[in-house]
Amino acid sequence: MEAKLLESQYKNHLSHFRNWEQRAHAEEWMLFEKNIGPYVGLDETALASGELYTILINKEAKGRKGTIIAMIKGTSVEKVSQAILKLSRRRRFQVREITLDMAPNMARIARLCFPAAKLVIDRFHVQKLAFEAVQEMRIKARWEALDKEMVEITYAKASGQPFVTETFENGDSRKQLLARSRYLLFKKTELWSESQRKRAKILFREYPDIKKAYYLSMRLGVIYHQ
């Protein structure tokens, strides 16, 4: 049997797709009310097509059958809430806790659709923001180092003198130190290599604010894992 014929036979007859009650609106939204539980998660995801979808899941199902409660095309408060509110009031009020990221639209959807549930910010999103804040400090310091070096190069040329780049005891220039410290700032100290350990010592000596932010982000991770 040809592949296209087999695909057509499955779609039109074996899968019961033609008789599926959600077929008419499946591209816009799908609801599986029986999958609701007391602990749910609300998040957005991009499918292979690049389209953003909002997904409501049963966290206790742990990715197995019965995980998806709702899948809605888009992330707007009005559109997503309109779809989720089609779930029965009784079922929605059974939800005790809803986990979500820090996006304002997700919080509004959660409050509108699950007024009896406690909102819990996903720890992975909180940690991600903390790590990003540390990286922003590193990037800002690197741009400042690049600007300073450019001024020094210009001055050296104007003075007819050779420009000599400042280097630290590990051989890094300041801009190299800041560029090469990117990955170590994502890792715990016990996971650093010997070269990363030396680089971190110099980085934290030169930039105490980055040191403080790094250890705060690491402590945040410890708190969430307790």
Q: Could you read off the pLDDT of 168-223 as tens digits, one per residue?
A: 999 999 999 999 999 999 999 999 999 999 999 999 999 999 999 999 988 887 66
> Which CATH superfamily is 25-121 part of?
Ribonuclease H-like superfamily/Ribonuclease H (3.30.420.10)
Measured CA to CA in angstroms, residue 72 lies from 4, 22, 29, 142 at distances of: 29, 12, 4, 42
Q: How many CB atoms lie within 10 A of CB 187?
A: 13
Helix locations, the chain, DSSP H: 3-9, 77-84, 89-92, 104-113, 123-159, 174-180, 194-206, 208-225
Domain limits of the chain? 25-121, 124-225
β-sheet bridge partners, residue 100: 121
Question: pLDDT value at position 20?
Answer: 59
pLDDT of 8 > 80? The answer is no
> What residues contact residue 116 under an 8 Å CB cut-off, 6+ apart?
92, 93, 95, 96
